[in-house]
Structure 1
Amino acid sequence: MIEADRSRWFVTTEWLAAHLDAPDVVVVDASWYLPTMNRDGAAEYAAAHIPGAVHFDLDKVKDETNPLPHMLPSPEAFASAVRKLGIGDGMRIVVYDGIGLFSAPRVWWTFRVFGARDVCILEGGFPKWRAEGRPVSDEAVVRQPRHFTARMDHGMVRDVEDVKRALASGSAQVVDARPADRFRGEAPEPRPGLSSGHMPGALNVPFAAIVADGKLRSPESLAETFAAAGVDPARPVITTCGSGVSAAILWLALESMGHNRLGLYDGSWTEWASRDDTEIVSGPA
């Protein structure tokens, strides 16, 4: 693994404040929460958001034909959704969320899957923006529709069969972002009816272990955390989690460390644990 420039994927609150009115910059509120968090991303956006920001709803911009939560939509559906948000080709997209660094990486990753070349994350997110006393707005934002050319990079996405093959052959490491107690099968899943536990051979790097104050931890801390979990930086990685959201945090961390042989299991544990042709084990990795 080579060292990467993590600033490639982040902008600071200072930078955004200085470029908020730039015509080629669009700010995206990507706030989304687990059911157990008892928070509503759309309602919070309506109450207060960074001035000019549009709201990207993971539960609406999705594959409507798939019963699994917020699975990637088709390129055509994605392009239609972001055009209506006023996001077009050649724009710089800055994504943030209401926790700091939780759902923003999933939306950042989604834009990249569909070909956005200049998309980054607000470091520290909305909590840092507000803590610094920067302006917020409750005004509805309507931008002029823009043309967005969506070309899906299938190499960034993995399905259940890809994960099965990786686990059976060892061709890639499967790294799970869920909390350790859920991974070990000691705590329930937030979605009713799903068993906890993990895929046989999967490794566990809880996303909370690599995030602090809405930011990724230092490169040294990230390297130590992944190494302690048994992740080999020289081998490919498939990231996974509960429903494909926090898996993108692992992706972000690994890519910031220079890892570029990555895939994300879109169905994640929600799909794996709901099938009758997959194996679930308990205990530590």
Structure 2
Amino acid sequence: MTIFVSTEWLAAELGKSDLRILDASLFLPGTPRDARAEFEAAHIPGAAFLDLDTLADPIDPAPHSLPPDALMTQRVQALGIDADSRIILYDNSPIRSAARAWWMMRLYGVGASAAILDGGLPKWLAEGRSTDSGAAIPAPGTAVARIDRAQVRTKADLRANIDSGNAQVLDARGAGRFTGTEAEPRPGMASGHIPGSRNLPYSALFAADNSLKSPDELRALYEGAGIDLNRPVITTCGSGVTAAILLAGLESLGKTDIGLYDGSWSEWGFDPATPKATGAA
């Protein structure tokens, strides 16, 4: 499978025994929406609710931090995922959270493949496609999750990179949060960005119908943000969610020398010892 699959493709694959569809909707703090309630009101037929907001390390204070292997294994098995499952992630969220779930499935080696539904539930609904309602309880699966830490960037990596400049750092947050003119949604967090980083708000990658823009348009966006596509890139954001969108976009262009800073600004911005910059890149 490719990174992104179309609504037409998914509609034709519904009901296949190896297909697992997961709703990975997640909302920013303070958003008056309930992802689980929305799933139970309407979801793609055969889908299960991932509950991405709770799929995190219970002892790490940074939100959405990667969970231990045992917790990830427990969750994916409860969702009916086997080693040969084809996993499709979608969302109905303004922050396009399915990309984070897609990255995690690959990071932990879960299933045979994973892909993002291009356009998500909004496009599915706009096309008049059918939905189901109610809770979903799949038959237990057998997949085992083992994280590949080589794909994850840490605070130490980002601190070292400020001096070395080996990788370009690309921040997915909106321009106001990046420059420090807009307050962070989490109380007590500093504003600004990691010194030397560039800014490309994740929302710029999507067309009006919620689908990803064309490769030529994506390439122009990354280059317009000051990114040299021939050099390594580390993506970051508020809590490691929208950074996955920039990473997926880069990978769709064929880049492989990329990584994601999991702690992102939720870790960096809360640490008084980390250097912080404000203003434009």
**TM-score, normalised by the number of residues in structure 1:** 0.95
Amino acid at match of 2:222: F
1:100 deviation in Å?
7.2
Residue of structure 2 in register with 1:3 after alignment: none
Amino acid at match of 2:166: S
Q: Percent identity?
A: 48
Partner-residue secondary structure (3-state), 1:8: coil
Structure 2: distance between partners of 1:209 and 1:24: 33
Mapped contact 2:169–2:196 kept (Cα < 8 A): yes
- Deviation string for 1:16-45 (max 9, x for gaps)? 111111000010000101124322211111
Residue of structure 2 in register with 1:4 after alignment: none
Structure 2: distance between partners of 1:167 and 1:177: 18
- Deviation string for 1:109-136 (max 9, x for gaps)? 0000001341001111101111111111
1:113 lines up with 2:107 in the alignment = yes
Residue of structure 1 in register with 2:142 after alignment: 147
- Deviation string for 1:184-243 (max 9, x for gaps)? 111111111112111110111111111223222111111111111111111111100001
| Equivalenced residues, count | 279
For 1:199-218, what aligned pairs fall within 5 Å after superposition? 199-212=194-207, 213-218=209-214
Q: Can you give the 5+ residue segments of structure 1 that lack an aligned partner in the other structure?
A: 1-6
For 1:114-129, what aligned pairs fall within 5 Å after superposition? 114-116=108-110, 117-129=112-124
Question: Which residue of 177, 189, 194 maps to 1:194?
Answer: 189
1:219 lines up with 2:212 in the alignment = no
Residue of structure 2 in register with 1:63 after alignment: 57
Mapped contact 1:33–1:41 kept (Cα < 8 A): yes
1:275 lines up with 2:274 in the alignment = no
1:138 deviation in Å?
1.2
Structure 2: distance between partners of 1:142 and 1:243: 29
Question: Which residue of 161, 164, 167 maps to 1:166?
Answer: 161
1:81 lines up with 2:99 in the alignment = no
1:264 lines up with 2:279 in the alignment = no
Residue of structure 1 in register with 2:239 after alignment: 243
Structure 2: distance between partners of 1:253 and 1:26: 23
Distance 1:100 1:125, change over 3 A: farther
The list of structure 1 runs, each at least 4 consecutive aligned residues, that deviate by more than 6 angstroms after superposition, is none
Mapped contact 2:95–2:242 kept (Cα < 8 A): no
1:101 deviation in Å?
6.9
Structure 2: distance between partners of 1:47 and 1:276: 43
Q: CA RMSD in A?
A: 1.3
Structure 2: distance between partners of 1:108 and 1:25: 14
Q: Can you give the 5+ residue segments of structure 2 that lack an aligned partner in the other structure?
A: none
Structure 1: distance between partners of 2:33 and 2:260: 26
Partner-residue secondary structure (3-state), 1:44: helix
Structure 2: distance between partners of 1:228 and 1:50: 36
| Structure 1 stretch displaced more, 256-265 or 95-104 | 95-104
Mapped contact 1:100–1:123 kept (Cα < 8 A): no
For 1:176-195, what aligned pairs fall within 5 Å after superposition? 176-195=171-190
Structure 2: distance between partners of 1:128 and 1:47: 17
Partner-residue secondary structure (3-state), 2:191: coil
Question: Which residue of 21, 46, 63 maps to 1:52?
Answer: 46
Partner-residue secondary structure (3-state), 2:71: helix
Residue of structure 2 in register with 1:27 after alignment: 21
Amino acid at match of 1:127: P
Question: Which residue of 206, 217, 231 maps to 2:227?
Answer: 231
1:70 deviation in Å?
1.3
**TM-score, normalised by the number of residues in structure 2:** 0.96
